[in-house]
A and B are shown apart, each in its own frame.
Chain A
């Protein structure tokens, strides 16, 4: 494998993981803009999505149904989280809310440990085909599928925001919650919607990536955190930024892992986040805040 082949390989694995980060970042950005809360438990919804899908498949569910059910379950848990914690503490300080979502994250991770143990699980690739060779690099078909599905998911979301009434209401609440309330949009219902949406998207992201990596009870924490890095990279009020941030983070990480050391990729991601926070708090794309 030549230098070019290696370059393509890094780029491609970066884009694959990056599209997962982008999905998680998207969920975070939408939730943050509606509720003003960073859902630090988002990573755990990735775990719950994957592991539920694994269990449902083992219980004899057909693949598609297992995945769909897992996504729905994650959405319901997201809604339950909103009602039981965030909704109750909506008048508390930001710090209190951050600690609450971290607490939920820890509890969910613990629950995942209880239910599934420390054993690593895998999902089968969605399509069975031989690895493809491109310019000296080898690409697993599942990676291509992850990329495509991420694009489709993003496309559907944009269609939702632009074409449907509910989507427009969400956008209105993202831009100006006070004005949205004045025209009769119920922010409390939107907050519930936002949290179940996070659950759904995170679970989807997890199911997409599980055939490439293995799934364990503690996989979500880092993925969730990378979602944050991606969101911050793109600017937390910017939906497009979340996607660009996710892909960019994936590529940065892939190159860092390839050229420095694979153990350092988390450190590089964190360093990138801190640097962006310090130099461009609005993200690389955002020059103005479009939020409240």
Chain B
């Protein structure tokens, strides 16, 4: 086990298990479910950004593809819900592998813009392919998740499902990052040329990291569909992509618990602002909290670009190593 100290993990598991036994408030349980779902996505993004050193600003597209895959399979083809959740990551992963090969050849700004463009492209398609997605009004009539007579039709049961999937995700990620593959990811992050020179197939490994991040986002999408039982394009836009990136960066890139912490902070903050802002500014609209997001984004990047969990100039140092050396070519 590589997630952390065993007793700490046991304590965390115990705490998380007992939460729904104490908390009966569906609002709080709902928030915890969202935290779990987002943590799964940002864990995948953390793998891509923090370990393999590649960026994706279109992660919400994979989340949406997973959600729609599950929703379409369940409503149109009456596929059993648990099977739908298992199949939800397939399409996003396939798409990631197909587009990843050419896209991951790009670097820095270009990779950022290409993934951002992919996210917006996919978002437009969710709105436009009305035959499958129901367009802007979305798909309704998605059943609850369950196997046979066991149906998770309340938030407490769903909390357990989501957090169990998250626990599995964390274990898998932790093990992966300690495996040769994980070390190869870090090598690519540190220097792609050096990694190539010692015989690492960087193209393949970047593709694997991209695929895994899409898999996890798709899985979370599938789980999301069966929780809200309604899917529309709204949650899969550009803002969501940015939030996922922020979650991955906020906690600390290159750590296992960072994305979980990031997801918890962002979701918690969103809910807090939703509650607090109308008290301070009664005239403010519902989308008001985005100002704060922007500011937090900038502050984190200015003050702690390495995230909260890592010490200053810690392991994230090589994240800073790729500063553009304008004119460097000329001085050689």
Chain A residues engaging chain B, CB cutoff 8 angstroms: 36, 38, 85, 88-89, 91-96, 98-100, 102-111, 113-114, 117-118, 176-179, 221, 225, 228-229, 232, 261, 263-264, 266-267, 270-271, 273-274, 277-278, 281, 292
Query: How long is the Cα–Cα vector from A98 to B323 in the complex, in angstroms?
Result: 12
Would you call A113 and B290 a contact (CB within 8 A)? yes
Complex-state Cα separation, A179 to B296, whole angstroms: 37
Return the chain B residue nearest A218 by Cβ.
Answer: B287
**Chain B residue nearest to A41 in the complex (CB):** B294
Question: From DSSP, what is the main secondary structure of chain B's interface residues?
Answer: helix
Instruction: Report yes or no: A277 in contact with B114, Cβ–Cβ below 8 A.
Output: yes
Other than the given A93-B305, A96-B320, A108-B294, 6 more pairs (CB < 8 A) read A93-B319, A94-B109, A103-B294, A110-B288, A113-B287, A277-B110
In whole angstroms, how far apart are the Cα atoms of A100 and B57 in the complex? 13
Q: Which 3 A-B pairs rank lowest in CB-CB distance, beginning with the nearest?
A: A107-B294, A110-B291, A103-B297
**Does A292 lie within 8 Å of B327, measured CB to CB?**
yes
B242 to chain A, nearest CB (A): 6
Are A111's CB and B291's CB within 8 A? yes
How many Å from the CB of A100 to the closest CB on chain B? 5
A110 touches B290 (CB 8 A): yes
CB distance from A284 to the nearest CB of B (A): 15
Q: How far is the CB of A89 from chain B (nearest CB, A)?
A: 6
Chain B contacts with A in 239-253, Cβ cutoff 8 A: 239, 242, 245-246, 249
CB within 8 Å of A: which B10-28 residues? none
CB distance from B175 to the nearest CB of A (A): 26
Q: A107 and B291 in contact (CB under 8 A), knowing A94-B324, A266-B124?
A: yes
By a CB distance below 8 angstroms, the chain A residues around B302 are 85, 88-89, 100
- Shortest A251–chain B CB gap in Å is 19
| In the assembled complex, B125 has its CB within 8 A of some CB on chain A | yes
Contact between A281 and B110, CB atoms less than 8 A apart: yes
Taking the closest CB of chain A, its distance from the CB of B46, in whole angstroms, is 13
Query: Contact size class for B?
Result: 35 or more
A-B contact list, 30 entries, CB within 8 Å = A36-B324, A36-B326, A38-B109, A38-B113, A85-B302, A91-B320, A93-B322, A95-B322, A98-B112, A99-B249, A100-B302, A104-B294, A106-B293, A106-B297, A107-B291, A107-B293, A117-B285, A177-B327, A178-B327, A178-B330, A225-B120, A263-B127, A270-B117, A270-B124, A273-B114, A273-B117, A274-B121, A277-B106, A281-B110, A292-B327
Binding site of A, secondary structure by majority: helix, strand, loop or mixed?
helix
A228 to B288, CA, bound (A): 27
Which residues of B, 101-131, contact A by the 8 Å Cβ criterion? Answer: 102-103, 105-106, 108-110, 112-114, 116-118, 120-121, 124-125, 127-128
What is the bound-complex CA distance between A29 and B297, given in angstroms? 25
B39 interface hit (Cβ, 8 Å): no
List residues of chain B with CB within 8 A of the CB of A271. 117, 121
Bound form: Cα–Cα A273–B110 in Å: 10
Contacts of B109 in A (CB 8 A): 38, 94, 98
Once bound together, how far apart are the Cα atoms of A87 and B294, in whole Å? 18
Chain B residues engaging chain A, CB cutoff 8 angstroms: 49, 55, 57, 102-103, 105-106, 108-110, 112-114, 116-118, 120-121, 124-125, 127-128, 238-239, 242, 245-246, 249, 284-285, 287-298, 301-302, 305, 319-324, 326-331
Contact B238 A221 (CB under 8 A): yes
Given the known inter-chain contacts A118-B285, A264-B124, A267-B125, please indicate yes or no for A109 contacting B290, CB distance below 8 A: yes
Q: Is the CB of B114 within 8 A of A274?
A: yes
Beyond A88-B302, A99-B245, whether A274 also contacts B118 by CB under 8 A is yes
Query: For the complex, what is the distance from the CA of A118 to the CA of B113, rounded to whole Å?
Result: 27
- A99 with B294, Cβ < 8 A, contacts A92-B323, A263-B127, A267-B121 known: no
Q: Which A residues are in CB contact (< 8 Å) with B322?
A: 93-95
Q: Do B288 and A114 touch (CB < 8 A)? A: yes
Query: Which residues of B are found within 8 Å of A89, using beta-carbon distances?
Result: 301-302, 305
Bound complex: CA of A105 vs CA of B239, how far in Å?
11
Choice from B49, B120, B294 contacting A266 with Cβ under 8 Å? B120
Given A94-B324, A109-B290: A274 in contact with B124 (beta carbons within 8 A): no
Q: Do the beta carbons of B324 and A114 come within 8 Å of each other?
A: no
Which residues of the other chain, A, contact B320 by a CB distance below 8 angstroms? 91-93, 96
Closest chain A CB from B302 CB (angstroms)? 6
Residues of chain B contacted by A92 (CB below 8 angstroms): 301, 305, 320, 323
> Would A91 and B323 be within 8 Å (CB), given that A102-B297, A274-B114 are in contact?
yes
B108 and A114 contacting across the interface, CB-CB below 8 Å: no
Residues of A near B319 (CB, < 8 A) are: 93, 95-96
A96→B298 CA distance, assembly (Å): 9
Query: In the complex, are the beta carbons of A110 and B294 less than 8 A apart?
Result: yes
Q: Decide if A103 touches B114 in the complex (CB within 8 Å).
A: no
A102, A114, A273: residue with the most chain B Cβ atoms closer than 10 Å? A102
Q: Is the CB of B114 within 8 A of A106?
A: no
Q: Are A107 and B301 in contact, with the CB atoms below 8 A? A: no
Bound: A155/B297 CA distance, A: 38
Contacts of B284 in A (CB 8 A): 114
Query: B293: which A residues are within 8 A, CB to CB?
Result: 103, 106-107, 110
B103 / chain A contacts, CB cutoff of 8 Å:
274, 277-278
Q: Which residue of A lies closest to B117 (CB)?
A: A270
Nearest CB of A to B241, in Å: 10
